[in-house]
């Protein structure tokens, strides 16, 4: 079975998208996820263009990847210089990646208008840049920018630029639909033409301006192309790049070619959502394969059919990409979800038990108010314990006060919190400072409770997410806070919702502490 290599550029081309910018730490975390998913090449950035990318290539060396190769991106040398003197090319080599990918001009119009050099000079520039890189790096890819537009404008010259790269013995020549306007039938025609002239392994890099990026990549793989460039969730400039979350399952399940393992494929949905989280963008429900609605059935006809035979209205089994079938507006499905969740937490619920219905009702009510239990299982477990009467009150918060103060016009605000808690008969009254009101409140709460429950010292806050729920009225809109906490053994998520961010955060903080106390006792 022939192997198709996956080349991810989420960390480079993906960050060209509006609203997307990753910190160096995010890029490192994403690189590890991509490595686990089985991506063969991870393009980390353009070292020449900004300090953030230089830092990435330095840091990624310290962390061990299991199999992925790290690629650095750049361009051919400038005119009127030699590769060894070209700043951009020198920074690429200095970054010491496993692979270097540079782009060059294919479209005669660009050579004249953008580079303002002769067509002949451009060919030399492609050849000697690549030839120099081949001597200084283990693996070199060539991105033929605007290849399809260039070919349509001047096929002979477009092919000449590829031949220049082939002559430099590059490891892969990538045909790019940079402007994303190429149609699937053009891809088919042009690739067959290219294969008459080029024997170097070919890759494909498409954009979604015509909403054809995925189909164009699939068409290319169907024609024997061996490297596919794209991004997780199709992040990228304008309408985005080719979406690897749709291309990977197509390669494995439709084209039946090798790329990642079945086990890795089962993590596809998880990786998609992880990248959305770090980009702080809410996942696209309708997204193919991995979206929340991708296997959601509403039509009555469909629902009854899929319950007997899923293949009647599902093109693949959702489990193979880590997704699942959902039946919409159906109490039945709601109930079975509750039962499944309860089982997860070793709480035995009976589907006939009225408590099950009770929990279902309160969840629907809370979800209408903006609660969300995905990623807040700890709050969900506490909710069930309360409904079942197995919840314990380890402490009671009598009250608190948080003060943010800016004393002078040149001084930045400080935060201080005071808290009064009651445990058993005893009342504890403490104060603490913090970075902002929520952090101060958190510090004061723990300070008060650690006196009674030293185990709380183990608890660390790992993440704190704030979402303003849609249709809100300015700062008065309702706010959802998700908190991720952890100790040596485990991690847990809690949620709070209110029109007051302090209140929402307070709810989530309280659940986090409450959950820890319940679990350390159960052990």
Please say whether the dihedral angle defined by the alpha carbons of residues 28, 487, 496 and 421, taken in this order, is positive or negative: negative
Shortest Cβ 55–a copy of itself spacing (Å): 10
CA 161 to chain centre: 35
Shortest Cβ 276–a copy of itself spacing (Å): 11
Residue closer to a copy of itself, measured from CB, 117 or 183: 183
Shortest Cβ 281–a copy of itself spacing (Å): 10
Shortest Cβ 84–a copy of itself spacing (Å): 23
What Rg value do the Cα atoms of the chain yield, rounded? 28
Shortest Cβ 335–a copy of itself spacing (Å): 13
Shortest Cβ 135–a copy of itself spacing (Å): 26
Residue ranges in 233-291 assigned as alpha helix (H): 244-249, 262-265, 268-279
Residue closer to a copy of itself, measured from CB, 356 or 505: 505
| CA distance readout (Å), 244 to 184, 210, 513, 516 | 17, 17, 39, 38
Residue closer to a copy of itself, measured from CB, 3 or 466: 466
Residue closer to a copy of itself, measured from CB, 66 or 411: 411
Structure letter (DSSP) for residue 105: E
CA 435 to chain centre: 28
Beta bridge mates, 176: 205
Shortest Cβ 236–a copy of itself spacing (Å): 8
Shortest Cβ 138–a copy of itself spacing (Å): 27
Residue closer to a copy of itself, measured from CB, 354 or 399: 399
Residue closer to a copy of itself, measured from CB, 352 or 407: 407
Residue closer to a copy of itself, measured from CB, 136 or 403: 403
Residue closer to a copy of itself, measured from CB, 384 or 504: 504
Shortest Cβ 348–a copy of itself spacing (Å): 25
The Cα–Cα gap between 377 and 360 comes to: 15
Expressed in angstroms, the distance from the first to the final Cα of the chain is 50
| CA distance readout (Å), 45 to 16, 95, 103, 142, 325 | 11, 10, 13, 15, 37
The Cα–Cα gap between 232 and 244 comes to: 5
Shortest Cβ 192–a copy of itself spacing (Å): 12
The Cα–Cα gap between 18 and 236 comes to: 8
Shortest Cβ 464–a copy of itself spacing (Å): 5
Q: Do the Cβ atoms of 265 and 290 come closer than 8 Å?
A: no
Tokens of 139: 């693996």
Q: Do the Cβ atoms of 404 and 437 come closer than 8 Å?
A: yes
Give me the DSSP letters along 123-147.
HHHHHHHHHHHHHHSSEEEEEEETH
Residue closer to a copy of itself, measured from CB, 33 or 69: 33
Residue closer to a copy of itself, measured from CB, 12 or 69: 12
| Residue whose C-alpha is closest to residue 4's, from 211, 249, 241 | 249
Tokens of 62: 């310290």
List the strands of the sheet with 460-468, edge to edge: 460-468, 479-486, 491-498
| CA distance readout (Å), 100 to 29, 90, 114, 263 | 21, 11, 23, 29
Tokens of 427: 């009342």
Residue closer to a copy of itself, measured from CB, 410 or 522: 410
Q: Do the Cβ atoms of 373 and 380 come closer than 8 Å?
A: yes
Residue closer to a copy of itself, measured from CB, 138 or 181: 181
Q: Ramachandran region of residue 439, left (φ > 0), alpha (ψ -120 to 50) or beta? A: alpha
Shortest Cβ 435–a copy of itself spacing (Å): 4
| Residue whose C-alpha is closest to residue 252's, from 221, 211, 293, 206 | 221
Give me the half-sphere count of Cα atoms (radius 13 Å) on the Cβ side of residue 37: 30
Residue closer to a copy of itself, measured from CB, 37 or 417: 417
The Cα–Cα gap between 239 and 250 comes to: 21
Shortest Cβ 427–a copy of itself spacing (Å): 12
| Residue whose C-alpha is closest to residue 227's, from 321, 104, 142 | 142
Tokens of 452: 């009674």
């Amino acid at each position: 079975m022939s192997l198709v290599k996956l080349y991810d550029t989420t960390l480079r081309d993906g960050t060209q998208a509006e609203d997307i910018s990753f910190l160096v730490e995010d890029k490192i975390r994403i690189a590890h996820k991509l490595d686990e998913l089985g991506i063969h090449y991870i393009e980390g950035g353009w070292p020449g263009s900004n300090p953030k990318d230089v830092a990435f290539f330095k840091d990624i060396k310290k962390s061990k990847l299991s199999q992925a190769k790290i690629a650095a991106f750049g361009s051919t040398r400038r005119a009127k210089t030699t590769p060894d003197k070209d700043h951009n090319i020198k920074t690429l080599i200095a970054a010491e990646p496993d692979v270097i990918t540079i782009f060059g001009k294919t479209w005669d119009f660009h050579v004249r208008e953008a580079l303002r050099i002769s067509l002949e000079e451009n060919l030399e520039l492609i050849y000697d840049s690549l030839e120099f890189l081949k001597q200084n790096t283990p693996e070199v890819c060539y991105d033929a920018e605007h290849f399809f537009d260039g070919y349509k404008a001047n096929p002979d010259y477009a092919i000449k630029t590829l031949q220049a790269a082939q002559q430099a013995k590059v490891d892969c020549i990538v045909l790019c639909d940079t402007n994303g306007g190429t149609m699937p039938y053009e891809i088919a025609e042009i690739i067959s033409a290219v294969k008459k002239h080029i024997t170097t392994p070919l890759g494909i890099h498409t954009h979604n301006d015509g909403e054809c990026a995925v189909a164009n990549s699939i068409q290319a793989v169907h024609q024997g192309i061996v490297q596919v460039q794209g991004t997780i969730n199709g992040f990228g400039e304008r309408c985005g790049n080719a979406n690897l979350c749709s291309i990977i399952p197509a390669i494995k399940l439709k084209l039946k070619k090798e790329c990642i393992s079945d086990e890795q494929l089962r993590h596809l949905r998880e990786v998609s959502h992880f990248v959305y989280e770090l980009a702080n963008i809410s996942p696209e429900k309708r997204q193919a394969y991995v979206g929340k609605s991708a296997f959601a059935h509403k039509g009555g006809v469909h629902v009854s059919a899929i319950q007997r035979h899923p293949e009647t209205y599902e093109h693949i089994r959702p489990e193979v990409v880590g997704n699942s079938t959902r039946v919409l507006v159906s109490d039945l499905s709601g109930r079975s979800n509750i039962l499944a969740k309860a089982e997860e937490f070793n709480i035995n619920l009976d589907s006939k038990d009225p408590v099950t219905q009770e929990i279902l009702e309160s969840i629907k009510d809370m979800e209408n108010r903006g609660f969300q239990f995905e990623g807040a299982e700890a709050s969900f477990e506490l909710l069930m314990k309360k409904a079942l009467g197995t919840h314990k009150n380890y402490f009671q918060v009598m009250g608190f006060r948080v003060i943010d103060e800016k004393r002078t016009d040149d001084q930045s605000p400080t935060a201080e919190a005071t808290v009064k808690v009651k445990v058993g008969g005893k009342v504890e009254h403490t104060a603490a400072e913090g970075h902002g009101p929520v952090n101060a409140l958190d510090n004061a709460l723990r300070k008060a409770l650690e006196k009674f429950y030293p185990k709380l010292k183990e608890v660390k806050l790992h993440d704190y997410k704030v979402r303003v729920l849609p249709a809100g009225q300015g700062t008065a809109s309702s706010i959802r806070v998700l908190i991720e906490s952890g100790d040596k053994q485990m991690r847990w998520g809690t949620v709070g919702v209110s029109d007051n961010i302090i209140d929402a955060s307070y709810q989530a903080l309280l659940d986090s502490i409450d959950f820890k106390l319940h679990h350390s006792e159960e052990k």
